[in-house]
Chain A
Amino acid sequence: MPARRTGVDRRVQGNSTRAPARLTVTGGMKMFENLTGLEGSLFSDLRRMQQDLEEIFSGRTSPAGIRSVARGSYPPVNVGATTEGVDVYLFAAGLDPKTLDISLQQNLLTIAGERTVDMPDSAQYYRRERFSGPFRRAISLPEDVDPDEVEARYVDGILHVAIQRRETSRPRQIEVK
């Protein structure tokens, strides 16, 4: 993705400004030092870039959930919550809702399905970025979801699973008599 690449480039440029200045040695050593200094800064830039990339892609900032999958897994999922319920959105265009298998066991929501993308053999392909095949995603929801109050809807290529929280765990207004 070019956008991400330019982001990293910028960062490396920023770092290179504080490359070590090792050019104080005088005499015959100067040229040699110049070269190694240059080489050193180049390699340290590359090393820093590599570290930056690792940090970006590993997501080391927070510990990963045991069921979490790598970024870019299909289909992308968003989960939102209110005091009343939890909403799960699967961004899965072009699905046949009949192939979907949605189950909620306690607070673990599993959504499995298959997307078939027809690819004519006679055509010449330039890009194949669309996911094709079976998929499965498991999502841990808050503990207080009610497995009996689940509703799933498929609109414009988004699967929306709405789960209510249990009545007992909802905040209640207490009246003062």
Chain B
Amino acid sequence: MNDETDMTTRESGQVEKKPENVQTLRPPVNIFEDSEGITLEADMPGVSKDRLQIQVDNDSLLIEGDVQFTMREGMEALYADVNATRFSRTFALSRELETEGIDASLRDGVLVLRIPKRAEVRPRKIEVRVD
């Protein structure tokens, strides 16, 4: 399920591009913007730092991660809400974002990406001087 979502629009009119060979999970995300940049939070339980991959290619941002947890040998599934072991989701970035300045952190399966806006597009506060 590799769907592409424009980060700054609510509705995605994008159509799938890649054929899906391996079934993947689509991590739920929160995306919000403030004057400094855009923050993306994604739930990726079972993904640790070494199994996480973040790729920025031109204007697309890919987040991917492999889920791992301890299992007993010979385990049989009695019930499963989660049927895949890989998270994957792609977003389209917009030009005013500073992709070189992306900061990522992962804690307890929550990925937080901070994408700053280019300095020239940040709103500048104009102070009014009263002499």
CB of A79 within 8 A of CB of B79, answer yes
Main secondary structure of the interface of B (DSSP, over half): loop
Min CB–CB distance B90 → chain A (angstroms): 12
Interface locus among B27-35, B53-61, B118-126: B27-35
Q: Which of B70, B74, B77, B78 gathers most chain A CB within 10 Å? A: B78
Please give the number of chain B residues whose Cβ is less than 8 angstroms from any Cβ of chain A in the complex. 48
Known: A3-B1, A94-B43. A76 touches B81 (CB 8 A): yes
Contact with B along A60-97 (1 / 0, CB 8 A): 00000000000101011111111111110101111100
CB of A129 within 8 A of CB of B45, answer no
Partner of B31, one of A94, A126, A131: A126
User: In the complex, A82→B72 CA distance in Å?
Assistant: 7
Q: Does B22 touch A at the CB level, under 8 Å?
A: no
Partner of A160, one of B16, B32, B70, B74: B70
User: In the complex, A149→B13 CA distance in Å?
Assistant: 51
CB of B1 within 8 A of CB of A80, answer no
Known: A87-B71, A94-B43. A126 touches B33 (CB 8 A): yes
Min CB–CB distance B84 → chain A (angstroms): 11
Known: A3-B1, A3-B20, A127-B29. A156 touches B48 (CB 8 A): yes
Min CB–CB distance A146 → chain B (angstroms): 15
Q: Which of A76, A120, A160 gathers most chain B CB within 10 Å? A: A76
